[in-house]
Structure 1
Amino acid sequence: MRMAAFLPAIAVAVSLIFVPVWGVATGRASSAKQLRFGKDGRFKILQVADMHFADGRSTPCEDVLPSQRRGCSDLNTTAFVFRMIDAEKPDLVVFTGDNIFGFDATDAAKSMDNAFSPAITSSIPWAAVLGNHDQESTLSREGVMKHIVGLKHTLSQFNPPGEIDGFGNYNLEVRGAEGSSLANKSVLNLYFLDSGDYSTVPSITGYDWIKPSQQLWFQRTSKKLQRAYVSKPMAQKAPAPGLVFFHIPLPEFASFDSSNFTGVKQEAISSPSVNSGFFATMVEAGDVKAVFTGHDHINDFCGELTGIQLCYGGGFGYHAYGKAGWARRARLITVSLGKTKRTEWGGVKSVKTWKRLDDKHFTAIDSMVLWSKTYGGNRRKKHINRA
């Protein structure tokens, strides 16, 4: 939905790199890398929400201070992605929708090539879902997702029309550490859903919602993954944790106030007017520990509801609306394994998160534990630094 920041000097110096597509837009990139925990027992995800990329250098920034306007463009967004990748070295980059701002992008394919170029040129596995603005340029929603799955290093997947509502509902499995007894098991499951754009029901206005066919897909996928994880010979006692990514926040994001979340809420929750019950579906599944969305750019909080953390990424892009003087930001998620009695890496022990600001000091804020097996539930720790 409506962000601004200190503009790093490197931003204006970055030139966009045109990255051509490769292969054929099928369900999965044929050279997809198998995701796996590192030797240090960790797996790090960078969430990039709402880049709103358009035409590069000619695209102006929105909601920045007067002193920051000169020379500010989409290139600042690109520089921020590179800055995050260089500093945090994520194992996976997740783009949670409104990757391009269709109304201002004269060529959707070229805009996407440039928007995703930092992940592509850095040879980092990445995944994307669609927002409500991605299809407003020269490609349909179906065409946008087909283009995405044809780009290098992506793990994104395309749903052919008629199978499931939307065009990007898929899951990625993260294997245990190499050499451990869980090396061939998915110890972390990532779910990606297309939350749609706008309601197509004449009597219902506003944003779209996650449909029954998508929820059925999620239920079946979760059950399959849980059966695989707890089956013998590993005999795991609990399902592998799951993290869910999509663009438009659920109505349940409105359940919090300043006393029970970490971060800030500076605008109304722009969720669908229809509650399709997906939150209850996730609770019932039993494996989901956290949900990550975008859409509302100047909200960046995480709050726990019925054992699930609901988190905003915080607005990332400089062509996206924001709040002058309030830095653009990105969310990091680090998942850590625990040690077994044999002192080898076992299953997931904790899920932590924090944010980085695109300011002079690259400030880290709001470090918190989203879920921890040791504590037997959710636990959070607020960072003393605030945006």
Structure 2
Amino acid sequence: MTRRIVRTGIQLGVLTFIVFLLVFFLDNRYRVLPQSIHNHLPSHHEGLIITDITVNTCSSLNPLSTCKLDQDKWHRIEKDLYLNTGWVSKAYVHIKRKREEDLTDEDRVIIDVRIGKMDPAMNEKSQAAEKWESRPAGIWLKRSAKRHATDSKKAVTAVDVLFGSDAVDPRPGWELIQPTALLLDTGSGSKDARLSIRRGPVHKLEPPVPRIGKDGKFKIMQVSDLHLSTGLGVCRDPEPKGANGGRCDADPRTLEFVERVLDEENPDMVVLSGDQVNGETAPDAQSAIFKIVQILAERGKPWAAIFGNHDDEGSLSRLNQMSLYNSLPFSLSEAGPNTIEGVGNYFVEVRAHGSKHSALTLYFLDTHSYSPDEKRYEGYDWIKLKQINWFKTTAQSLKESHSHYSHIHLDMAFIHIPLPEYGSTTNKFVGSMKEQISAPGFNSHFKDALVEEGIKVVSCGHDHANDYCMLSENESTKEGELWMCYAGGSGFGGYGGYDGYIRRLRVFEIDANQGRISTWKRLEYGDIAKRLDEQVIVDSGRVIPPQSN
């Protein structure tokens, strides 16, 4: 009998341990799926009013704990406030919400939120101030009776969680609760979790219409390899070495650089050409993405983005990031057709001044990530045949409408991973080649398709310490057929510092009146006002060789 009891006890112990492992695995494996992170956003549910907010903390060691409150009453925002770094604790924000038409006279709706240790009423001058209600993690809520708070300008209609002391929220109608993060147990791995709230309905955003200026000019600033993090991030290979006492926060320095050149160059459009997010250091990609979008939105700059090999190594898939991009102000980004490989195969038409006709077409293609056949083709993935066919079909279908433009129509393309032809040592180039190119081992000959369809310039990122433009020439006529450019790395969250290499970004200026494309680079430090390697690369619609300086 004793042996049977012992055996039964052991079996129950083993079963309990298995249940613990399953719950722990499932709770950690599936709660942070990329789509769940984006789909949690209450902004997708119009007409809802938030009636309560709380934080629920649980133990990772308890196999019976799922960190969920009554799901009939509470909706959980699917972001662990410790970003899955807590040794023991996990914590989630939960909200109660109702449709406005279902509110009763007994319901109280949230009209303000604060974070702090002290009751906000202590700082309010009015003696008739409404009562603040305390919640876990330092949350204070001001709630009002339904009949006094259905004014959509006051009632909180959505709640989100962002991370980092440098967190921002560029979404119209959203407000990041400043200056304090949620008051969590810092010993469990606090990540500066912050609440953001929206009042009123979802703001419907119309994409901007990029247009050639009155002077016939259109300027594009290409920003590549930002490698933004969740939080400040740590600089890799900063130049100059040892500056600022050796202290360097990656994202503030990166964004300060981008902001300065934005203000000095005043481009008409910004292209984010991949690796906006550093997957290894961005457990919440949304917080990282918002930082670059914030500075573009503040300046009213239209922008288009493609993905690099690191963007979806964090918390959001390519598809969910593109869905997020689509919801942000001044975005021209599109997922593209779902019948071909990749996310972000699309084009943008830049209209002529005072006309409906296109003066410039910009093509964007997804170069994917890593080789799907590492044994045969080591390294990186390549643009697929379906993508090439889509590009050629699209380019050919646009030619008739482009023919109605009164001047020379121009075409450019942007990708992240360079084409194999970028590695040719026989071609003429302007700029620096400080590292071996990281191109696909398999050549799908997308470069030939670009030439066939009359694209004059293609520009990529990926290799941070390469910043050259290389001229491809026709083998028989020796005439220029395509410029292949690098943007140069701009972010301190990614590698750099090869032989004193300075972070930089590239500018293209299109002169529609002359059918001309010029390009140059701007540096992060040193001779920051100089236009580095300034060249005319297309003139009268024709690719031209480098000019001697």
Give the equivalent residue in structure 1 for 2:421: 252
Does the Cα contact within 8 Å between 2:464 and 2:496 map onto a contact in 1?
yes
Does the Cα contact within 8 Å between 1:102 and 1:136 map onto a contact in 2?
yes
Return the alpha-carbon distance in structure 2 between the equivalents of residues 39 and 202 of structure 1. 50
When residues 382 and 192 of structure 1 are mapped into structure 2, their CA distance, relative to the original with a 3 A threshold, is: farther
Give the equivalent residue in structure 2 for 1:135: 312
When residues 141 and 377 of structure 1 are mapped into structure 2, their CA distance, relative to the original with a 3 A threshold, is: closer
Return the alpha-carbon distance in structure 2 between the equivalents of residues 264 and 377 of structure 1. 21
Among candidates 495, 504, 525, match of residue 359 of structure 1: 525
When residues 361 and 205 of structure 1 are mapped into structure 2, their CA distance, relative to the original with a 3 A threshold, is: closer
Matches within 5 A, 1:1-387: 17-20=168-171, 30-57=205-232, 59-64=233-238, 65-68=241-244, 69-159=246-336, 161=338, 163-178=339-354, 183-201=355-373, 203=375, 204-231=377-404, 240-256=409-425, 260-286=428-454, 288-306=455-473, 307-323=481-497, 325-338=500-513, 349-362=515-528, 363-373=530-540, 376-381=542-547
Return the alpha-carbon distance in structure 2 between the equivalents of residues 22 and 195 of structure 1. 34
When residues 63 and 195 of structure 1 are mapped into structure 2, their CA distance, relative to the original with a 3 A threshold, is: same
Deviation at 1:76, TM superposition (A): 0.6
Does the Cα contact within 8 Å between 1:22 and 1:150 map onto a contact in 2?
no
Q: Secondary structure at the match of 2:497?
A: coil
Return the alpha-carbon distance in structure 2 between the equivalents of residues 382 and 235 of structure 1. 32
What do residues 288-333 of structure 1 show as CA deviations (whole Å, max 9, x unaligned)? 0000100000000001103100000011001110016422101000
Deviation at 1:72, TM superposition (A): 3.0
Specify which structure has the higher proportion of strand. 2
When residues 135 and 382 of structure 1 are mapped into structure 2, their CA distance, relative to the original with a 3 A threshold, is: farther
Deviation at 1:15, TM superposition (A): 5.3
Does the Cα contact within 8 Å between 2:483 and 2:543 map onto a contact in 1?
no
Which letter maps to 2:168? I
Which letter maps to 1:154? S
Which letter maps to 2:445? G
Deviation at 1:67, TM superposition (A): 2.5
Return the alpha-carbon distance in structure 1 between the equivalents of residues 173 and 358 of structure 2. 28
Deviation at 1:111, TM superposition (A): 1.0
TM-score if structure 2 supplies the norm length? 0.60
May I ask how many residue pairs the two structures share in their alignment? 343
Which letter maps to 1:141? R
When residues 132 and 22 of structure 1 are mapped into structure 2, their CA distance, relative to the original with a 3 A threshold, is: farther
Q: Which moved more, 1:311-320 or 1:201-210?
A: 201-210
Q: Secondary structure at the match of 2:207?
A: coil
When residues 360 and 16 of structure 1 are mapped into structure 2, their CA distance, relative to the original with a 3 A threshold, is: farther
Identity of matched residues, %? 36
Does the Cα contact within 8 Å between 2:471 and 2:545 map onto a contact in 1?
no
What do residues 260-297 of structure 1 show as CA deviations (whole Å, max 9, x unaligned)? 210000100100001011011111112x0000100000
What do residues 176-230 of structure 1 show as CA deviations (whole Å, max 9, x unaligned)? 122xxxx221111100001000122354331111011111111011112211112
Does the Cα contact within 8 Å between 2:230 and 2:283 map onto a contact in 1?
yes
What do residues 209-253 of structure 1 show as CA deviations (whole Å, max 9, x unaligned)? 10111111110111122111125xx677x6x22100010000000
Does the Cα contact within 8 Å between 1:21 and 1:150 map onto a contact in 2?
no
Does the Cα contact within 8 Å between 1:366 and 1:382 map onto a contact in 2?
no
Q: Secondary structure at the match of 1:369?
A: strand
Return the alpha-carbon distance in structure 2 between the equivalents of residues 21 and 106 of structure 1. 24
Return the alpha-carbon distance in structure 1 between the equivalents of residues 280 and 439 of structure 2. 21
Q: Secondary structure at the match of 1:80?
A: helix
Q: Which moved more, 1:168-177 or 1:68-77?
A: 68-77
Does the Cα contact within 8 Å between 1:198 and 1:208 map onto a contact in 2?
yes
When residues 73 and 176 of structure 1 are mapped into structure 2, their CA distance, relative to the original with a 3 A threshold, is: same
Does the Cα contact within 8 Å between 1:16 and 1:75 map onto a contact in 2?
no
Return the alpha-carbon distance in structure 2 between the equivalents of residues 285 and 327 of structure 1. 35
Does the Cα contact within 8 Å between 1:248 and 1:293 map onto a contact in 2?
yes
Which letter maps to 1:115? I
Does the Cα contact within 8 Å between 1:61 and 1:73 map onto a contact in 2?
yes
Does the Cα contact within 8 Å between 1:246 and 1:293 map onto a contact in 2?
yes
Return the alpha-carbon distance in structure 2 between the equivalents of residues 310 and 52 of structure 1. 23
Return the alpha-carbon distance in structure 1 between the equivalents of residues 485 and 374 of structure 2. 30
Q: Which moved more, 1:312-321 or 1:142-151?
A: 142-151
Return the alpha-carbon distance in structure 2 between the equivalents of residues 80 and 330 of structure 1. 9
Q: Secondary structure at the match of 2:361?
A: strand
Structure 1 unaligned spans of 5+? 1-13, 24-28, 339-347
Deviation at 1:164, TM superposition (A): 1.6
What do residues 130-187 of structure 1 show as CA deviations (whole Å, max 9, x unaligned)? 00000001112222222222211110001364x1210101101111122xxxx22111
Give the equivalent residue in structure 1 for 2:27: none
Deviation at 1:116, TM superposition (A): 2.5
TM-score if structure 1 supplies the norm length? 0.83
Cα RMSD over matched residues? 2.2
Deviation at 1:16, TM superposition (A): 5.2
When residues 352 and 86 of structure 1 are mapped into structure 2, their CA distance, relative to the original with a 3 A threshold, is: same
- Structure exhibiting the larger radius of gyration computed from Cα positions: 2
Deviation at 1:84, TM superposition (A): 1.2
